[in-house]
Amino acid sequence: MTPTKAAGMTRRERYETQQRKRSLIIAATSTVVVVACLVIFVPMSPGWEKVQRSFFNGGVLADTFPKLLDAFKVNVMIFAWSAPAIAVLGLLIALARDAKSPALFPLRIFGAAFTDVFRGVPVILTVYLIGFGIPGLGLPRPWNSPYIWGSLALILTYSAYVAEIFRSGIDSVHQSQRSAALSLGLTERQVMRDVVLPQAIRNVVPSQMNMLIALQKDVSLLSFIGPVEIFRQAGVFKSLTANFTPYVGAAIIFLIVTIPATRYADYLMAKQMRDRS
C-alpha cells in the first residue's frame, strides 16, 4: 500500500473501508452457505414432496387468495373499532390507577384489579368467557352478536396492557417537569393534562404501536366464537380443498400488514433513542 493512494482518505477511513469490505465478504459467504443448505437439504427430506403439495400449492393459493383478502376485511373492521376504544379505556385506567384524591380510592382499586385480571387471563379464555357468556344471558338480536362481545373481550384485555404502558409513560416524565408546572400555580389535574400527559403519550408511541400489531393478529381469536374472519375462512378452504395452503395464504396477508408496521415501530423506537441521547 502506498501512502499516495485513495486521495483524501484519512488513515481511519482507509482502515474502516477495509473493515467494511471484510464484513461484507463474511456476511455474503455465510448467507450463501445457509441458503444453499436450506435449498439442498430440505427438499431431500423424505416428506418434502407431501409438504410441498399440501402447504405450498400454487393452484390452491391462486384460487383462495382473493377470498382470503375479502375475509381479512372483517379483521380490519374489528381492529378499526377496537383500537380507538382500547386507547381511550387504557388511558382512563392508567389515570384511575394514578388518582390521588381519597374520594377516588375505589377507582384506584378498580384500576388495579382490572389490570391484574385481564393481564392474568389468556386472551382466548377472555374471548370465550365473554363471547359465549354474555350472549348466553338471552340477549335479543343484535345484542347477542359475537362481533360485539368478542370485540369487548379484546378491548378489555388490551386496555389492561395499554394502561400499563401509559402508566410507564407517565412515570417517564421527569419529576422536575411537575415541579416547574406546580411552581406556576397549576393544579395537579392541570399539570397532568397540560404538561405530563402530552409528553407521556409521545414517549410511549413506539410501544403502543407494538400493541396495535399484536391486536391486529389477535383479532383472529374471535374466529373461535363465530365471526368468519381470515383464519376461519382459511379453515373453511382447508376443508374444501383438503389442503393447508390457505393457511399459508392467510399468514402471507398478515405479514404484508405486520412487517411494514413492525418496521415503522422499530424506526420510531430508534428515532426516540437518538432524540434522547
Residue numbers at the binding site for another protein (CB under 8 A): 176-177, 179-187, 190, 194-195, 198-199, 202
> Least distance (Å) from another protein to the CB of residue 95?
18
Q: Which own/partner contact pairs does 269-275 have at CB distance under 8 Å and 24+ positions apart?
A: 269/206, 272/203, 272/205, 272/206
Classified as helix, coil or strand, 150 is: helix
Say which residues have a Cβ less than 8 Å from residue 243's Cβ, sequence separation at least 6: 53, 54, 57, 60, 237
CB of 273 to another protein, least distance (A): 16
Name which of 82 and 203 has its Cβ closer to another protein: 203
Q: How far is the CB of 188 from another protein (least distance, A)?
A: 9
We find the least distance from the C-beta atom of residue 212 to another protein, in angstroms, to be 22
Identity at 247, one-letter amino acid code: Y
Taking the least distance from each CB to another protein, the nearer of 18 and 177 is: 177
Give the residue with the Cβ less far from another protein, 100 or 202. 202
How far the first Cα of the chain sits from its last, in Å, is 39
Asked if residue 234 lies in contact with residue 247, where contact means CB atoms within 8 angstroms, the answer is yes
Please enumerate in sequence order all residues whose Cβ is within 8 A of that of 248, keeping only pairs 6 or more positions apart, or say none. 55, 56, 61
The set of cell numbers assigned to 166 is 401509559
**Omega before 66 cis (within 30°)?**
no
CB 181, min distance to another protein, A: 7
Residue with Cβ nearer another protein (182 or 236): 182
Check residue 45 and report its DSSP letter: S
Q: Which is nearer to another protein, 40 or 275 (CB)?
A: 275
